[in-house]
Amino acid sequence: MAREKIYSVCGMCTVGCPIAVDVEDGRVVSVFGNPHAAGLKGALCARGAAGPALLYDDERPQTPLIRAGARGEGKWRAVSWNEAFDYVAGKLADIRAKHGPESLLLSDRGGPFVDLERAFLRGFGSPNYCNHDAACARNVQHAAQSVTGGGRTDLVYDLKNARHVVLQSRNILEAINVKEVNDLMDARDAGCKITVVDIRANVPGAKADNFFLLRPGTDYAFNLTVINVILAENLHDRQYVKEWFADLDALRAFVEPYTPEFAAKETGVSAEALRQFVRQFAKAAPRVVWHPGWMTARYEGSFYVSRTAYLINALMGAIGAKGGLPLACKPGDVGRKGLKSLQELFPKPTARRADGVGWAEGRTHFDAGPGLVNLAFEAIGSDDPYPIRAYIAHRHDPLMSFPDQAAVKKLWEKLELLVAVTFSWSDTAWNADVVLPLSTYLERESIIAGKGGLKPQFFMRRRAVAPRFNTKADWEIYAGLAKRLGMELLAVDRVEQLWERQLEGTGVSIADFDAKGFVELADKPTYKPLSFKTASGKIEVISPRLEKDGLPSLPPYVSPRRPPEDAFRLAFGRCGLHTQGHTVNNPLLFELMPENVLWINKTRAKALGIGNMDMVEVAPAAGGGTPGRLRAFVTEFIHPECVFTVHGFGHTLPVESRARGRGVSDNELMPGGFPRWDKAGGAVAMQENFVRVRRVEA
């Protein structure tokens, strides 16, 4: 029997944990956490362990497909790769000739490997690269930039060395990054306190020293009050603040009215409990982390919740501190060279971005890198500032991840070419003109990726087994298109050609990845000295970038709208067993969790005659959308003003025999929700929707 152990990278979510894959006679028998990866402890989450079930599932696109009926009708013509490449490249060339290279939009899932598709887009001549983040963490990214000048991943959450961690809208034990979970649990064993601020008792709530059940949407009032108490009681790090704050007085004056008594009325948290908590928290400074959140595409004001979280960290002296949020090192910070960018093989496109990010009025403060894909979709619909006629959704499922499918499909009607590059079926793939099936992560290699942190590193995804079907790796897909579009530099035959180019000048060779699957660029953690890339070189309470776009740095708190008396605000989040919408049909994970349930407050349920596990119908309070049916989970541990469900269910595709018809899609309960977004943070605001719930016969 031929046995092999292959070091690679998990692809069941975008965290990308290092894995060790056991292969016997060309078959994957198990996947574990890479034992060499510090902090992982050889573990993976349930989704990571279910990777082989994805590989050996037949319910995924198995060969390139070209649409034979209307969009979304499900009629396909199976074609060879040659035909698929000729078709897509031919269409792209026509569209470029008619509308210019900027008429191509490409969006992806973000993450460590995006340099490849970005290089393709740039080689084609288009500036219109977007990632999914307008439905995820853009508010955090922009909040970090407005306070510190750097992005959210330029700071590390040093959970392992922390003494108090606040999880505000951060479900760290269910919305999993394995190393973070291990680090936090180690810290807790060593006495670290955990405070959870949430609208329901999530799993972290069960491990918390303090748990605050907030009225949904009042986090900003909570944070302003925390700042008020810190400053009123002189609990801040005075030395740090003197050195690193550009304008503390502005903050002091602004928070004055936000007393604990004010917060009590808004948030439901008692004034005394809040005061006690702030004192306890400040005692642990600077080894504290006030988590600025991750999935924050929730409210029209979520940006300011995140922004004040960063300001609280700064007041504690935690930004830059061990056990707080130290600065992430890049290769250059530890005397090494970074990977050579593939994008830079091609000249920068000259056209301005279609989403207006970086140049249009009100959008100059946004980070141009991955733009805002929701605004790019609006540009497709309006032809403003110019026509977009081709769109490649590269491992991205916008129809499942933005509110109101019908609204998004309508915007896409003008597209002459819609291509989905994906390893599983998705609503977006089903509605595409061409499906280019990607090999699963166990059947493909990726370009080399770099990761910043206290110990920056390079890591490599290797192919564990040959593809089971007629699918390809992403580098093979873009090489196939590049060949036909005259982009020689990407038209490679072997992945090593790309790897060698990436490693040029770094002093690292391909063989160096053999031992562990990754190469660390430093021997020990480096805590970099503080510096900020803001205009003042300091922490900025007043952000010139925001003000220039006519946006307040700190707007007065506005109480969130209350739902009509018989309705609820719709809240959502993660569970430990699934990734977004794309694992529901995984045979193993489906068995463990086939559908979502609706969390509903006990008192409210009683008034509606709803008992635990009763079947209920949930429908948009304003009408429209697609009402759905699911079981009620009746509990006192959710705020009465909202109901909650896990995102990603309610699949309708006939090609997913398990997931189809199980549970409810939260996105379809948000009719008219697509154009609602946070003007300061850039993300869509998906928790601004109200629903009604009634009991129905099972």
Ligand X SMILES: Nc1nc2c(c(=O)[nH]1)N[C@H]1C(S)=C(S)[C@@H](COP(=O)(O)OP(=O)(O)OC[C@H]3O[C@@H](n4cnc5c(=O)[nH]c(N)nc54)[C@H](O)[C@@H]3O)O[C@H]1N2
Residue 33 or 581 with smaller CB distance to ligand X: 581
Binding mask 23-52 for ligand X (x = CB under 6 A): ------------------------x-----
Do you find a cis peptide bond into 671, omega within 30 degrees of 0?
no
Q: Is residue 152 within the footprint of ligand X (CB under 6 A)? A: no
The answer to whether the beta carbons of residues 420 and 399 sit under 8 Å apart is no
Q: Is residue 136 within the footprint of Mo ion (CB under 5 A)? A: yes
251 forms bridges with which residues in the sheet?
none
What residues between 203 and 262 interact with ligand X by CB under 6 A? 214, 216-217, 219
Displacement of CA 152 from its chain's centroid (Å): 12
Burial of 529 (0-12, 13-18, 19+ CB in 10 A): exposed
Strands laid side by side in the 518-520 sheet: 449-451, 457-459, 518-520
What residues between 625 and 684 interact with ligand X by CB under 6 A? 644, 647, 666-667
Residue 109 or 307 with smaller CB distance to ligand SF4: 109
Q: Is residue 473 within the footprint of ligand X (CB under 6 A)? A: no
516, interface contact from ligand X, Mo ion, ligand SF4, none, CB < 5-8 Å by kind: none
Burial of 253 (0-12, 13-18, 19+ CB in 10 A): exposed
Minimum distance of Mo ion from residue 573's CB (angstroms): 11
The answer to whether the beta carbons of residues 92 and 481 sit under 8 Å apart is yes
Question: Binding segment for ligand X among 64-72, 224-232, 290-298, 375-383 (CB under 6 A)?
Answer: 290-298
44, interface contact from Mo ion, ligand SF4, ligand X, none, CB < 5-8 Å by kind: ligand SF4
Q: How far is residue 573's CA from residue 583's CA, in Å, rounded to a whole number?
A: 15
Minimum distance of ligand X from residue 683's CB (angstroms): 9
Q: Is residue 581 within the footprint of ligand X (CB under 6 A)? A: yes
Q: What is the DSSP letter of 612?
A: T
Binding site for ligand SF4 (CB under 6 A): 10, 12-13, 15-17, 44-45, 47-48, 176-178
| DSSP characters over 382-427 | H--SS---EEEEES--HHHHSS-HHHHHHHHTT-SEEEEEESS--H
Question: Binding segment for Mo ion among 136-144, 535-543, 599-607, 647-655 (CB under 5 A)?
Answer: 136-144
The answer to whether the beta carbons of residues 33 and 17 sit under 8 Å apart is yes
Match 């160096």 to its residue by tokens: 512
Identified binder of ligand X from the candidate list 7, 11, 158, 301, rule CB under 6 A: 11
17, interface contact from ligand SF4, ligand X, Mo ion, none, CB < 5-8 Å by kind: ligand SF4
Residue 653: closest CA among 476, 367, 422 = 422
Residue 389 or 582 with smaller CB distance to ligand SF4: 582
Q: Is residue 180 within the footprint of ligand X (CB under 6 A)? A: no
Minimum distance of ligand X from residue 240's CB (angstroms): 26
Q: How far is residue 429's CA from residue 349's CA, in Å, rounded to a whole number?
A: 28
Identified binder of ligand X from the candidate list 422, 457, 596, 601, rule CB under 6 A: 422
199, interface contact from ligand X, ligand SF4, Mo ion, none, CB < 5-8 Å by kind: ligand X
Residue 400 or 577 with smaller CB distance to ligand SF4: 577
- In degrees and rounded to multiples of 5, residue 107 shows phi and psi of -130, 150
Q: How far is residue 398's CA from residue 110's CA, in Å, rounded to a whole number?
A: 13
Minimum distance of ligand X from residue 1's CB (angstroms): 29
Residue 188: closest CA among 168, 169, 208 = 208
Residue 438 or 539 with smaller CB distance to ligand X: 438
Binding mask 279-318 for Mo ion (x = CB under 5 A): ----------------x-----------------------
- 10 Å Cβ neighbour count for 515? 10
Minimum distance of ligand SF4 from residue 45's CB (angstroms): 3
Q: Is residue 405 within the footprint of ligand X (CB under 6 A)? A: no
- In degrees and rounded to multiples of 5, residue 65 shows phi and psi of -130, 135
The answer to whether the beta carbons of residues 398 and 429 sit under 8 Å apart is no
- In degrees and rounded to multiples of 5, residue 29 shows phi and psi of -100, -30
27 forms bridges with which residues in the sheet?
24
Q: Is residue 395 within the footprint of ligand X (CB under 6 A)? A: yes
Identified binder of ligand X from the candidate list 139, 225, 308, 401, rule CB under 6 A: 401
200, interface contact from Mo ion, ligand X, ligand SF4, none, CB < 5-8 Å by kind: ligand X
Q: Is residue 114 within the footprint of Mo ion (CB under 5 A)? A: no
Minimum distance of ligand SF4 from residue 180's CB (angstroms): 9
Residue 102 or 219 with smaller CB distance to ligand X: 219
The answer to whether the beta carbons of residues 447 and 502 sit under 8 Å apart is yes
Q: How far is residue 679's CA from residue 567's CA, in Å, rounded to a whole number?
A: 27
The residue nearest ligand X at its CB is: 573
Please give the span between the terminal C-alpha atoms of the chain, in angstroms, as a whole number. 51
Q: What is the DSSP letter of 524?
A: S
Q: How far is residue 613's CA from residue 563's CA, in Å, rounded to a whole number?
A: 24
Q: Is residue 169 within the footprint of ligand X (CB under 6 A)? A: yes
Q: Is residue 585 within the footprint of ligand X (CB under 6 A)? A: no
Q: Is residue 175 within the footprint of Mo ion (CB under 5 A)? A: no
Q: How far is residue 342's CA from residue 420's CA, in Å, rounded to a whole number?
A: 22
Residue 10 or 263 with smaller CB distance to ligand SF4: 10
Residue 545: closest CA among 142, 146, 137 = 146
Return the axis-axis angle of helices 219-232 and 271-283, rounded to nearest 10°: 60
Residue 144 or 442 with smaller CB distance to ligand SF4: 442
Size of the site for Mo ion (CB under 5 A): 2
Burial of 68 (0-12, 13-18, 19+ CB in 10 A): exposed
Minimum distance of Mo ion from residue 136's CB (angstroms): 3
Which positions lie near Mo ion, rule CB under 5 A?
136, 295
Which positions lie near ligand X, rule CB under 6 A?
11, 13-14, 47, 109, 132, 135-137, 168-171, 174-176, 197-200, 202, 214, 216-217, 219, 294-295, 298, 395-397, 400-401, 422-424, 426, 438, 441, 571-574, 576, 578-582, 644, 647, 666-667, 686-687
